[in-house]
Structure 1
């Protein structure tokens, strides 16, 4: 600080200002810099302290797993190869104990975490819970003894929900979320919490508190966001089942990037009570919790376990509709609507090829595929979704990030979130010649009144009716479409790519259940064709997309399956059909 004061004096003396003015200015500047310096140092100490505490907790778990018993080590490896339905059967039959299974996944999870940084904290009482389950004679619950990973923002009693922000390090949950309580009633063992992007407002997964999570398939690439830690852990084999939440694709995008299955139900089909959101009060674009797993049967088992009287009693806002297994198991051929790309023309070659491969495989299996034209998708995204999500002028996110060190990716988006309408118009006008996509988003009028918001909500209802009318006219049972326009992108140099979320976000707007299933991988030919990818009139945004996704050979590619509201079982059925016919 003394060097700074000397520097200020030298500058002010050269200015030949009166001594009293110089003294005052130096004093004011010194206080300001000291406060900033103190805040930054205090912030760093808190981050360091939390990570030391976190590292010790992880090391304690690792020590508890240490064994020289080769038979036990082999048993743990064998456990990791089981599917979730097979695992639950062996736990119910007594062939495996809850402790054995927990420790197998703890060991694997820590090994995966060491390479990609996906865990925020271990659940402190996980071992005690597994031991308690083993001590009882009654092995009840569809998920008896199954370890479950939980996204950072979902309540587990006594653990903090941070959103990747230091200010929430002591935001300890007073009780479990409803979804965690029901999982426990079904015998599950929550064992780790997983990483998210700061404020959850990104399709990557990084925050200054817990660091950056990497893709288990390629550590130079993103695992997606905001449920990126979940997808990375499951994709790396460190968890067999996870719970995330989804407001713009936060389950489906990471699942697609990491080569697993992810499912977003209709809002309120599962309880939302007890999770910390980045944007409370948001209207028009609806969020929901949902499961993430290696295969569709696992997702179905979790939905069966959650859609039970315990859920309906703990949260009366959830309609008492149990999982209708007869719909899922139906053998009647489906009439499937499909399209290869949205109006915005962002889908890269790997994604359009995945759609064609899946369409042909479903037709060969006896299903009828018909082209479906989604109504005005660009209007839905730019004129309804964006305006609803920014109806508060970005104040909620700004308040969340206030006093924090912003993650660089989030920091780059803050001006877009908070910019006044005048400056949005100016920037939009200047950008239009090089990026009509970004210019259109920038030119959207910021909602200034409740009346403005209501008008957008009216437009949303009109769009839903229009989409349903197109669905009815096509006479389809379910819909097949791209999971996302791109495979997992490189972290280095990748922009926010926020326009790409249309491919998932539109089904939050519509409130349709949607899930993703991996069907193929990026090929050398896909990568070569990317050189000719122009997207929308060779928009500069599309050049960013091309650069960020180039070289993704071998990365997983998924398709997205969609059904009408409250028809989760029909959506799962299409997902299972896709998984079956596309299994490599």
Structure 2
């Protein structure tokens, strides 16, 4: 079986790299635009929780804050292509209404805080979520003329808390690839170096936040779609315990077993904002968490695993990422007086196979990826690939590739059943390991933000994040400064279910030493 797996891995990687060469051959004349510099407006450097406090006190007008962010977006977005549709005029009108409310003194500061914890704070939203009046194509040409008439549940809650949406951000086609590019809006570019990817599928969201064009945002995650963009763009992202934040109002939504894998969660530039935004998103489900509980980090048990154990489908870890994780371990041991135990969990090496097998369960209850691409008409993925080679397809090559492989998912039912059992065993093992006071430090991705198209050569590297969707564990993605090339470093912080407050507390502690989000520099 080991020889067979290696042969299959070689075949898949060879095909992927051939596709990469084909794509790059067609793009060699394109030139990446200059990377935007750091923000100069000090308003853009204030956390959302502090902005809301200043606005409620009348120390800072919401209209000034919103205008500052609009100006920043107009400055950086031509190079980044992160925000794909704006509602700037409406946002400014809503900000002026906030200023009028505060000036009227009809309600005192304490009342405003209780009713509107995010009063006057700008927010950006992944285009896959319904935001009234905005497009919701999820990168499909067949949906490009669609405009939302309602708000997704999480968007509605943010609005009710006083947040002001600025617009919607780019994603990968049908939210199933880790580079945000589609044939409706084009490709998003990394704010730290525009030759590199922003991640996916919430890539435009991570990008606009990393560029200081937004301060808080909405993302979704079925295989790492919050955490990979947060990692590649140097910000914080949190995949909550499943079922805490509603997924209603996004496209595509999850059905069958996939409901347990898909999570909606906050993406933020500052760790301090994560608990506040998560509370708003969760609504009454906040009661299931302990977000207001003081956490004594010295009394937690810490574990560290530096790689997945050697999956044949996934590339080796970048040396700088391993070194960054070791610095985290050293800092925790020094600052807290704890011992971080190195561990090796055997079944983690099967992360991709486990995720793929679990995603394929109950397919009769979930609309297939091919069906979603088809727009009501029968689509033949192999014919679509031929059309793509001649520039005639409406779809991106990752989407076509996924449609081609989708039919192969259940060709080995015994192998899939074995992987599903491994998922159950791994879940039990990690729950036992972590208990209610354990933290696992785990890599975010084996590579620092790759250049555009390079994910085609390593299509399964998302397994480092995807495994935690299968396990149903809350995870916070934390930035750890910049690499020698000026690209973000990071790590995942994992705990057991309903212990989101532990990962958030560790993230806040790491921010003090590692600096959290670092502004992009001119390249």
Change in CA separation of 1:349 and 1:228 when aligned onto 2, cut-off 3 Å: same
Q: 1:353 corresponds to which residue?
A: 323
**Residue 204 in 1 paired to residue 184 in 2?**
no
Q: C-alpha deviations, 1:468-489, integer Å up to 9, x for none?
A: 23445xx962111111111100
Structure-to-structure mapping, 1:241-390, within 5 angstroms? 241-277=216-252, 280-283=255-258, 286-307=261-282, 311-312=283-284, 318=285, 320-321=287-288, 323-328=290-295, 330=296, 332-344=298-310, 346-366=316-336, 367-382=338-353, 384-390=354-360
Task: For 1:458 and 1:301, locate their aligned partners in 2 and report how far apart those are by CA, in whole Å.
Answer: 37
Q: 1:95 corresponds to which residue?
A: 59
Structure-to-structure mapping, 1:19-418, within 5 angstroms? 77-123=41-87, 125-136=90-101, 137=104, 138=107, 139-140=112-113, 141-277=116-252, 280-283=255-258, 286-307=261-282, 311-312=283-284, 318=285, 320-321=287-288, 323-328=290-295, 330=296, 332-344=298-310, 346-366=316-336, 367-382=338-353, 384-391=354-361, 392=363, 396-402=368-374, 405-418=394-407
Change in CA separation of 1:494 and 1:420 when aligned onto 2, cut-off 3 Å: closer
SS at 2:195 equivalent: coil
SS at 1:88 equivalent: helix
Task: For 2:457 and 2:241, locate their aligned partners in 1 and report how far apart those are by CA, in whole Å.
Answer: 27
Task: For 2:302 and 2:154, locate their aligned partners in 1 and report how far apart those are by CA, in whole Å.
Answer: 32
- The question of whether the paired residues in 1 share the 8 Å contact of 2:440 and 2:493 is answered with yes
Structure-to-structure mapping, 1:526-537, within 5 angstroms? none
Q: C-alpha deviations, 1:230-282, integer Å up to 9, x for none?
A: 01101111001111011111011011111111111011111222222265445
Q: 2:459 corresponds to which residue?
A: 498
Task: For 1:81 and 1:379, locate their aligned partners in 2 and report how far apart those are by CA, in whole Å.
Answer: 41
Change in CA separation of 1:135 and 1:395 when aligned onto 2, cut-off 3 Å: closer
Task: For 2:341 and 2:272, locate their aligned partners in 1 and report how far apart those are by CA, in whole Å.
Answer: 26
- The question of whether the paired residues in 2 share the 8 Å contact of 1:387 and 1:447 is answered with no
Task: For 1:125 and 1:323, locate their aligned partners in 2 and report how far apart those are by CA, in whole Å.
Answer: 36
SS at 2:456 equivalent: coil
Task: For 2:430 and 2:290, locate their aligned partners in 1 and report how far apart those are by CA, in whole Å.
Answer: 26
Change in CA separation of 1:580 and 1:127 when aligned onto 2, cut-off 3 Å: same
Task: For 1:380 and 1:359, locate their aligned partners in 2 and report how far apart those are by CA, in whole Å.
Answer: 23
Residue 300 of structure 1: how far off its partner (Å): 2.1
Structure with greater helix percent: 1
Task: For 1:76 and 1:343, locate their aligned partners in 2 and report how far apart those are by CA, in whole Å.
Answer: 44
SS at 1:518 equivalent: strand
Task: For 1:265 and 1:120, locate their aligned partners in 2 and report how far apart those are by CA, in whole Å.
Answer: 26
Runs of 4+ in 1 over 4 A off after TM superposition: 452-459
TM-score w.r.t. structure 1 length? 0.71
Q: C-alpha deviations, 1:525-557, integer Å up to 9, x for none?
A: xxxxxxxxxxxxxxxxxxxxxxxxxxxx22111
Residue 459 of structure 1: how far off its partner (Å): 5.1
Residue 521 of structure 1: how far off its partner (Å): 2.4
Q: C-alpha deviations, 1:412-460, integer Å up to 9, x for none?
A: 4432223486xxxxxxxxxxxxxxxxxxxxxxx3559xxx988865653
Q: 1:20 corresponds to which residue?
A: none
Residue 203 of structure 1: how far off its partner (Å): 0.6
Task: For 1:408 and 1:373, locate their aligned partners in 2 and report how far apart those are by CA, in whole Å.
Answer: 36
Task: For 2:43 and 2:421, locate their aligned partners in 1 and report how far apart those are by CA, in whole Å.
Answer: 52
Q: C-alpha deviations, 1:178-219, integer Å up to 9, x for none?
A: 211211121110111000011111110100000100001011
Number of residue-to-residue matches in the alignment = 443
Task: For 2:198 and 2:82, locate their aligned partners in 1 and report how far apart those are by CA, in whole Å.
Answer: 10
- The question of whether the paired residues in 2 share the 8 Å contact of 1:202 and 1:496 is answered with no
- The question of whether the paired residues in 2 share the 8 Å contact of 1:284 and 1:388 is answered with no
My pick for the range that moved more, 509-518 or 395-404, is: 395-404
- The question of whether the paired residues in 2 share the 8 Å contact of 1:144 and 1:188 is answered with yes
Task: For 1:275 and 1:320, locate their aligned partners in 2 and report how far apart those are by CA, in whole Å.
Answer: 24
Measured on the aligned residues, the alpha-carbon RMSD in Å equals 2.7
Residue 327 of structure 1: how far off its partner (Å): 3.2
- The question of whether the paired residues in 2 share the 8 Å contact of 1:284 and 1:509 is answered with no
SS at 1:325 equivalent: coil
Q: Which has the higher contact order (CA 8 A, sep 6+)?
A: 2
- In structure 2, list runs of 5 or more residues that go unmatched: 1-38, 376-392, 517-523
Task: For 1:319 and 1:408, locate their aligned partners in 2 and report how far apart those are by CA, in whole Å.
Answer: 40
**Residue 522 in 1 paired to residue 479 in 2?**
no
SS at 1:557 equivalent: strand
Q: 1:539 corresponds to which residue?
A: none
Change in CA separation of 1:278 and 1:199 when aligned onto 2, cut-off 3 Å: farther
- The question of whether the paired residues in 2 share the 8 Å contact of 1:375 and 1:470 is answered with no
Task: For 2:84 and 2:248, locate their aligned partners in 1 and report how far apart those are by CA, in whole Å.
Answer: 22
My pick for the range that moved more, 491-500 or 514-523, is: 491-500
Change in CA separation of 1:467 and 1:492 when aligned onto 2, cut-off 3 Å: closer
Task: For 1:496 and 1:386, locate their aligned partners in 2 and report how far apart those are by CA, in whole Å.
Answer: 18
- The question of whether the paired residues in 1 share the 8 Å contact of 2:43 and 2:65 is answered with yes
